[in-house]
């Protein structure tokens, strides 16, 4: 544990009875291996999950019913990203390809990357570009319509695990093994270096207003950063193992984090307090908040996904 700035969050997380429990938790059964990534479609009606079993599954975000399975990857799928209009789902992982899918599961594009392992994907806000990063420490920028690599930014900071694009599309942030977060402009000029984590950074997410950036790390903390000032503004200390994914609600009032101790936590961004938490019996590898803040999608290390409905007063 590397920070103590959110003592209230620690107290609440330890005394689970004081936290708002999930209103309901539905298991999402169908994958045959760990669930490594989840993403809500921008309209909130569908939840996509990716797995080490090489498949992507699509679930009804209200009922938890399985509505589709996308197949084609030949190795573990590690990351997912929906286009801003929800018309395309991008996926990538350990087979060296990025695949773009339509709603019905048809593969629309296959992009051959220079990466043996793609760890993170992010669309630009206009949906015309897709950014990817991975083990080599480079960021590849793809023209989605043409299906071609537009350029490669050789950042050379070691393996990269996390990537986020700002809501205005003018900046992107990357982080990985060295624990440092770096923010670049759209042409790859370094704008800001954010230091404070004591271990690898696995998750990044810009707040909807673009002013702050959240990160999750192997040092067991979630941190929030003022991007313009280049400084840490909050350390949310409550997990007891590595934090693999973070994500904001559409209004920016809530932040979700998934920890490998099995804990998925929803935080109040303004106060830094945990407001809802659930511990799954296996490692929580990923989590995402639905756009309306009503549901949380999560994936675990034992092939199960989950759909959590939050109490109204948490939303």
pLDDT of residue 10: 37
pLDDT of residue 23: 84
CA atoms of 292 and 252, how far apart (whole Å): 10
Maximum Cα–Cα distance across the chain:
53
Number of domains in the chain: 1
Assess if residue 95 is contained within a domain.
yes
CA atoms of 288 and 248, how far apart (whole Å): 8
- Residue 270 CB-density burial (10 A; 0-12 exposed, 13-18 middle, 19+ buried): exposed
CA atoms of 304 and 308, how far apart (whole Å): 13
Assess if residue 156 is contained within a domain.
yes
137: left (phi over 0), alpha (psi -120 to 50) or beta: left
Q: Kindly list the strands in the beta sheet with 46-51, ordered across the sheet, starting from the edge strand earlier in the chain.
A: 35-40, 46-51, 56-60, 66-70
pLDDT of residue 21: 76
Assess if residue 315 is contained within a domain.
no
Q: Which domain holds residue 74?
A: 7-309
Assess if residue 252 is contained within a domain.
yes
Say which CATH number the domain at 181 has: 2.130.10.10
- Assess contact for 27 and 292: CB atoms under 8 A: no
pLDDT of residue 33: 98
pLDDT of residue 176: 97
Assess if residue 18 is contained within a domain.
yes
- Residue 191 CB-density burial (10 A; 0-12 exposed, 13-18 middle, 19+ buried): middle
Assess if residue 204 is contained within a domain.
yes
| Residues of the chain below pLDDT 50 | 1-2, 4-17
- Assess contact for 216 and 257: CB atoms under 8 A: yes
- Summarised one tens digit per residue, pLDDT across range 131-170 is 999 999 999 999 999 999 999 999 988 999 999 999 999 9
Assess if residue 314 is contained within a domain.
no
Nearest to 262 by CA among 64, 9, 13: 13
Rg, Å, the chain Cα set:
18
Assess if residue 2 is contained within a domain.
no
């Amino acid at each position: 544990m590397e920070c103590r700035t959110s003592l209230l969050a620690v107290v609440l997380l330890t005394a689970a009875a004081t936290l708002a429990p999930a209103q309901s938790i539905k298991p999402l059964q169908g994958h045959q291996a760990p669930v490594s990534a989840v993403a809500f479609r921008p309209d909130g009606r569908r939840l996509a999950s990716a797995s080490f079993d090489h498949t992507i599954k699509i679930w009804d975000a209200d009922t938890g019913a399985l509505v589709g399975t996308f197949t084609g990857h030949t190795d573990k799928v590690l990351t997912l990203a929906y286009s801003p209009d929800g018309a395309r789902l991008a996926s990538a992982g350990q087979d060296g390809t990025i695949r773009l899918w339509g709603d019905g599961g048809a593969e629309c594009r296959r992009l051959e990357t220079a990466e043996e392992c793609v760890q993170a994907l992010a669309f630009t806000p206009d949906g015309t570009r897709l950014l990817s990063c991975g083990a080599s420490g480079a960021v590849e920028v793809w023209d989605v319509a043409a299906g071609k690599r537009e350029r490669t930014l050789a950042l050379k900071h070691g393996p990269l695990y996390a990537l986020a694009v700002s809501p205005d599309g003018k900046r992107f942030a990357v982080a990985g093994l060295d624990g440092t977060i770096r923010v670049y402009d759209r042409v790859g000029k370094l704008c800001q270096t954010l230091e404070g984590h004591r271990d690898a950074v696995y998750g990044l997410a810009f707040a909807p207003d673009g002013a702050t950036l959240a990160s999750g790390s192997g040092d067991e903390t979630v941190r929030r950063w003022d991007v313009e000032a280049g400084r840490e503004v909050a350390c949310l200390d409550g997990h007891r193992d590595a934090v693999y994914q973070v994500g904001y609600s559409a209004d920016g009032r809530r932040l979700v984090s998934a920890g490998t101790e099995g804990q998925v936590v929803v935080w109040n961004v303004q106060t830094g307090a945990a407001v809802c938490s659930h511990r799954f019996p296996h490692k929580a590898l990923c989590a995402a908040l639905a756009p309306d803040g009503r549901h949380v999608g999560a994936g675990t290390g034992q092939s199960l996904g989950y759909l959590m409905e939050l109490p109204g007063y948490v939303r």
